[in-house]
Structure 1
Amino acid sequence: MTAPRSDAPQRLTGLRVVDVHGAKVGTVQQVYRDDATNAPEWITVRTGLFGLTEVFVPLAGARRTGDALHVPYTKHAIRSAPPIDTPDHLDPSAETRLYRHYGILRPGAPGPV
């Protein structure tokens, strides 16, 4: 997963991120694209009292309304996401940990049997 180079996903940068209950979580910092499809798949969100923590949030199920990006996750789930230290690339093992944390399947992965 690589941080995007085109302008379109960057329009998300700076939007307020709002959780499933309407609580403000933080601000979109970066948008990451899937290596295989080049589709935007993750955002990083700056959270915390002083905005010093940056966490990954899946874009699946997110919707933009004005200057806010509404995500289908709770503030607690977002803030407790595993810390990933990656400036430009989200490696597959880190991505797997994040999918597991959010309780969602990787796109294209087989569902439970």
Structure 2
Amino acid sequence: MKLNAQQVSSLYGQNVTDRSGSKIGSVGQIWADNAGEPTWVSVKTGVMGRKESMAPLQKAQIAGGALAVDYDKSTVKDAPTVDADTDEPLSTAQVEQLYRHYQLAPQPAPAAPPARERGRAPGAGEDLIRSEERLRVGTESQPAGTARLRKYVVSEDVHTTVPVEHDEVYVEREPISAANARNVNADIGEAEQEMTLRAERPVVRKETVPVERVHLTKDEVVDQRAIDEQVRREQVEADIPERSRRRR
């Protein structure tokens, strides 16, 4: 079946069925031959991985929005594979392997990459390269200040108490009995008695003692800093005459 450009464009992502109508997968990529004719299609079969099975578009038909290939499901799933979303053309070795698998007569190898990215009209000129800026955010270390320890002297009032002793004197009188009177000097005259009294007073001394060891240390702390920046990107607009526009 010969597919036109509009049909090829509509196939991407559509279901692929085998000759009995059983679903195999969905269309991944389409390759064209040297003449620009769609020749091979890759099928996403749903198997885990990044590989897509290849199938020929020869005798394929579009029916009910799906692409029906003229092979059974197991043949397509066992076919040689390509990387998913590849944009590389098929090599000669890949094409020969596909022809052997599907038992097809060899034809010139398709040199064009997937049809979705080809189809340039003659005289179209050089490609436009669209560029854009990407924001790359990193960090750099820089001085953020100096930390110092400084020791200085302050005075503070201290209030405390200390017990002190002192002597107090009082007069004690003891009567003399008649039995003891003969042993006591009873002369009348002047006399005196002295007693030394003692009293404590507070005495203050000062001594210097070490009480604490102080030094500087640091920890690295990670914070999240919001970055607001503008980046530029290019856009490409097509100015196509109305009559030359593709009808969808």
State TM-score, norm by structure 2: 0.38
In the alignment, what sits opposite 2:76? 78
Partner SS for 2:93 = helix
In the alignment, what sits opposite 1:100? 100
In structure 2, what is the Cα distance between the partners aligned to 1:65 and 1:94? 28
The alignment status of 1:40 with 2:38, answered yes or no, reads: yes
Partner SS for 1:94 = helix
The number of aligned residues is: 102
Q: Which 4+ residue blocks in structure 1 deviate beyond 4 angstroms?
A: 49-52
Deviations 1:20-69, CA, capped at 9 Å, x for gaps:
111100000111111x2111001111003458541111000000012111
Q: Which letter does structure 2 place at the counterpart of 1:29? A: G
| Identity in percent | 35
Whichever of the two has the greater Rg, that structure is: 2
What is the Cα-based RMSD across aligned positions, in Å?
2.1
Q: Which letter does structure 1 place at the counterpart of 2:82? A: I
Partner SS for 1:78 = helix
In structure 1, what is the Cα distance between the partners aligned to 2:48 and 2:93? 29
Alignment of 1:18-57 (within 5 A): 18-34=17-33, 36-49=34-47, 52-57=50-55
The alignment status of 1:12 with 2:11, answered yes or no, reads: yes
State TM-score, norm by structure 1: 0.78
1 or 2 for the larger relative contact order (CA 8 Å, sep ≥6)? 1
In structure 1, what is the Cα distance between the partners aligned to 2:26 and 2:106? 24
The alignment status of 1:87 with 2:93, answered yes or no, reads: no
CA drift of 1:75 comes to 0.6
Q: Which letter does structure 2 place at the counterpart of 1:97? A: Q
CA drift of 1:7 comes to 5.7
Question: Is the 2:57–2:69 Cα contact (8 Å) retained in structure 1?
Answer: yes
In the alignment, what sits opposite 1:66? 64
Partner SS for 2:67 = strand
CA drift of 1:9 comes to 1.9
